[in-house]
């Protein structure tokens, strides 16, 4: 598996809360700014007496979570989520935050996540008209079967054996998600009976130590293939570097750690 990552600065990257920016769609409601005006008020369990608008609260909690994430560099056993929950409890007790604030933010993020997934699904599904899909498939098959026609030349079909070999050839791919999320599962390659590797993303903030790098911000994946039952590998990836360590989780004991890395 390969993970895409941006450049890494000299300062260790802070953990960041997975919250979506919402300032660009702030809409007025009841004299205050709200992120959306189409969320059902009747569905709320707490009074709509928010002290902060959701955009401001999201930004504040995101910065706080990043600060708490940095503490893991000094205390690897610290839990950023529990520390954030403790801070929220203190703010509620001090009256600096209301349950309505938290509820509105949760509703907003849930609505945005739902809309985002719906957009991704629509893009993935693409054309839904059966006749158009059939026409597109026929055209794609014809381009492979009669390549000269696409080039404006006199149509000359490929021999069937050549056509069959093109359709059955092995294909290789690379997984490079812009925003990896815990729970992501993808195939890394596929050729039935020969290459069927898959991975499951388990954590985005794992601690790993190698001769080349030590960090608490490594991505951890579990990788396996149906062709090797009972064999599972743990792989650690670091932003700006890539794979830094591979350890056996189940099966024959194997270990690999990065000792040197060059760029350019």
Half-sphere exposure of 66 (CA within 13 A, CB side): 12
Q: DSSP string spanning 113-137?
A: HHHHHHHHHHHHH----HHHHHHHH
Q: What is residue 243's predicted lDDT score, i.e. its pLDDT?
A: 93
Where do we find the tokens 């839990």? 79
Distance CA 217, CA 27 (A): 36
Which residues lie below 8 Å from residue 155, measured CB to CB, with a gap of 6+? 146, 148, 149
Q: What is residue 19's predicted lDDT score, i.e. its pLDDT?
A: 35
Q: What is residue 77's predicted lDDT score, i.e. its pLDDT?
A: 72
Mean pLDDT, consecutive 10-residue stretches, the chain (264 aa), reads 40 36 34 48 63 81 84 75 89 88 86 87 82 91 84 83 87 73 87 88 93 92 94 94 93 91 78
- Measuring CA to CA, which residue among 116, 97, 103 is closest to residue 43? 103
> Encoding tokens for residue 132?
């158009």
96 Rama class: left (phi>0) / alpha (psi -120 to 50) / beta: alpha
Residue ranges of alpha helices (H) inside the chain are: 54-70, 80-94, 99-125, 130-145, 147-150, 160-168
- Contact between 14 and 66 (Cβ < 8 Å): yes
**80-94 and 54-70 helices cross at what angle (nearest 10)?**
130
Three-state DSSP class for 143?
A: helix
- How far is C-alpha 155 from the chain's CA centre? 45
> Encoding tokens for residue 155?
């149509």
- How far is C-alpha 159 from the chain's CA centre? 43
- Contact between 102 and 88 (Cβ < 8 Å): yes
Q: What is the pTM of this model?
A: 0.42
Half-sphere exposure of 199 (CA within 13 A, CB side): 25
């Amino acid at each position: 598996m390969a993970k895409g990552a941006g450049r890494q600065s000299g300062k260790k990257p802070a953990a960041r809360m997975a919250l979506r920016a919402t300032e660009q769609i702030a809409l007025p409601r009841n004299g205050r700014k709200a992120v959306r005006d189409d969320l059902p008020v009747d569905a709320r369990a707490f009074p709509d007496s928010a002290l902060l608008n959701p955009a401001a609260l999201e930004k504040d909690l995101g910065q706080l979570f990043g600060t708490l994430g940095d503490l893991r560099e000094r205390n690897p056993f610290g839990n950023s989520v529990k520390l954030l929950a403790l801070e929220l409890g203190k703010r509620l007790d001090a009256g600096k935050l209301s349950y309505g604030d938290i509820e509105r933010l949760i509703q907003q993020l849930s609505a945005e996540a739902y809309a985002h997934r719906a957009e991704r699904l629509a893009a993935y599904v693409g054309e839904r008209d059966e006749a158009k899909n059939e026409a597109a498939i026929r055209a794609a098959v014809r381009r492979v079967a009669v390549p000269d026609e696409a080039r404006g030349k006199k149509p000359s079909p490929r021999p069937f054996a050549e056509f069959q070999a093109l359709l059955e050839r092995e294909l290789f791919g690379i997984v490079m998600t812009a925003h990896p999320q815990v729970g992501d599962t993808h195939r890394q390659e596929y050729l039935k009976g020969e290459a069927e590797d898959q991975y499951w993303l388990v954590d985005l903030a794992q601690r790993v130590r190698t001769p080349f790098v030590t960090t608490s911000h490594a991505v951890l994946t579990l990788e396996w293939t149906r062709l090797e039952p009972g064999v599972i590998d743990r792989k650690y990836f670091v932003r700006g570097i890539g794979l830094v360590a591979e350890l056996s989780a189940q099966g024959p004991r194997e270990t690999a750690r990065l000792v040197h890395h060059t760029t350019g």
